[in-house]
A and B are shown apart, each in its own frame.
Chain A
Amino acid sequence: MLFHDLTRPGNDEIKVSDDSLLEIEHVTMRFGGLVAIDDLSFTARKKEITALIGPNGAGKTTVFNCITGFYKPTVGRVMLTHPRKGRYYLERMEGFKIAQQADVARTFQNIRLFPRMSVLENLIVAQHNALMKASAFSLAGLLFMNRYAKAEKEAVERAKYWLNKVGLYDRADWDAGNLPYGDQRRLEICRAMCIQPAVLCLDEPAAGLNPRESLELNELLLGIRDQEGVGILLIEHDMSVVMQISDHIVVLDHGRKISDGTPEFVRNDPTVIKAYLGESDDEDLPQTVKNDLARNAGKDV
Chain B
Amino acid sequence: MADMKNAVAAPGQGGFDVGAALKESGKAAFVAGLLGLPLLALKADNFGSKLGLVYRWDALFIAIAAVFVGRFLMILLSGRQKKSEGGVFAAFGKGIHNNMALIGLAGLAIGVLLPVVYPDRYVIYIATTFMIYVMLGWGLNIVVGLAGLLDLGYVAFYAVGAYSYAMIATQFGWSFWVVLPLAGVFAAFFGVILGFPVLRLRGDYLAIVTLGFGEIIRVILINWTDFTGGPNGISGIPPITFFGLPFKNGDHGTFASFFGIDHSPVQRIIFLYFVILVLATLTNLFTQRMRKLPVGRAWEALREDEIACRSLGINPTNIKLSAFALGAMFGGFAGSFFSVRAGFVSPESFTFIESAVILAIVVLGGMGSQLGVVIAAFFVVILPEVFREFEEYRMLLFGLAMMVIMVWRPNGLLSFREPTIRLHPKKESA
Q: How many angstroms between the C-alpha atoms of A177 and B257 in the bound complex?
A: 62
Partner of B304, one of A106, A117, A129, A131: A117
Q: How many angstroms between the C-alpha atoms of A173 and B301 in the bound complex?
A: 16
Over the window 408-430 of chain B, the binary record of Cβ atoms lying under 8 Å from chain A Cβ atoms (1 yes, 0 no) is 00000000010111111010000
B367 vs chain A, min Cβ distance (A): 10
Which B residues lie within 8 Å of A90 (CB)? Answer: none
B314 at interface by CB-CB < 8 Å: yes
List B306-324 residues whose CB lies under 8 Å from chain A: 307-316
Partner of A121, one of B295, B305, B313, B420: B420
Given contacts A113-B305, A173-B423, contact A138 B295 (CB under 8 A): yes
Partner of A125, one of B297, B316, B422, B424: B297
Q: How many angstroms between the C-alpha atoms of A239 and B61 in the bound complex?
A: 71
Partner of B312, one of A115, A118, A195: A195
Given contacts A96-B313, A97-B313, A118-B419, contact A128 B297 (CB under 8 A): yes
B296 at interface by CB-CB < 8 Å: yes
A105 at interface by CB-CB < 8 Å: yes
B83 at interface by CB-CB < 8 Å: no
Q: Is the CB of A114 within 8 A of B311?
A: no
Given contacts A68-B311, A115-B304, A125-B314, contact A138 B422 (CB under 8 A): no
Q: Is the CB of A112 within 8 A of B296?
A: no
Q: Is the CB of A120 within 8 A of B421?
A: yes
Given contacts A96-B313, A97-B313, contact A114 B290 (CB under 8 A): no
Count B interface residues, CB 8 Å. Answer: 32
Which A residues lie within 8 Å of B295 (CB)? Answer: 132, 137-138
How many A-B contacts if CB must be within 8 Å? 121
A218 vs chain B, min Cβ distance (A): 23
Which A residues lie within 8 Å of B296 (CB)? Answer: 138
Which A residues lie within 8 Å of B292 (CB)? Answer: 141
Q: How many angstroms between the C-alpha atoms of A100 and B294 in the bound complex?
A: 15
Q: How many angstroms between the C-alpha atoms of A98 and B314 in the bound complex?
A: 10
Q: Is the CB of A128 within 8 A of B419?
A: no
B293 at interface by CB-CB < 8 Å: yes
A55 at interface by CB-CB < 8 Å: no
Which B residues lie within 8 Å of A160 (CB)? Answer: 423
Over the window 113-144 of chain A, the binary record of Cβ atoms lying under 8 Å from chain B Cβ atoms (1 yes, 0 no) is 11111101100111011011001011001100
A250 vs chain B, min Cβ distance (A): 22
A169 at interface by CB-CB < 8 Å: yes
A191 at interface by CB-CB < 8 Å: yes
A157 vs chain B, min Cβ distance (A): 11
Q: Is the CB of A132 within 8 A of B294?
A: yes
Q: Is the CB of B310 within 8 A of A95?
A: yes
B185 at interface by CB-CB < 8 Å: no
> Which chain A residue lies CB-closest to B289?
A142
Which A residues lie within 8 Å of B312 (CB)? Answer: 99, 105, 125-126, 128, 191-192, 195
Given contacts A96-B314, A108-B311, A112-B311, contact A121 B297 (CB under 8 A): yes
Q: Is the CB of A195 within 8 A of B313?
A: yes
B181 vs chain A, min Cβ distance (A): 16
B300 at interface by CB-CB < 8 Å: yes
A265 at interface by CB-CB < 8 Å: no
Most buried by B among A132, A156, A170: A132
A166 at interface by CB-CB < 8 Å: no
Q: Is the CB of B308 within 8 A of A172?
A: no
Q: Is the CB of B316 within 8 A of A96?
A: yes
A-B contact pairs, 10 of them (CB 8 A): A68-B311, A95-B310, A112-B307, A115-B305, A117-B300, A125-B309, A129-B313, A132-B295, A169-B423, A172-B423
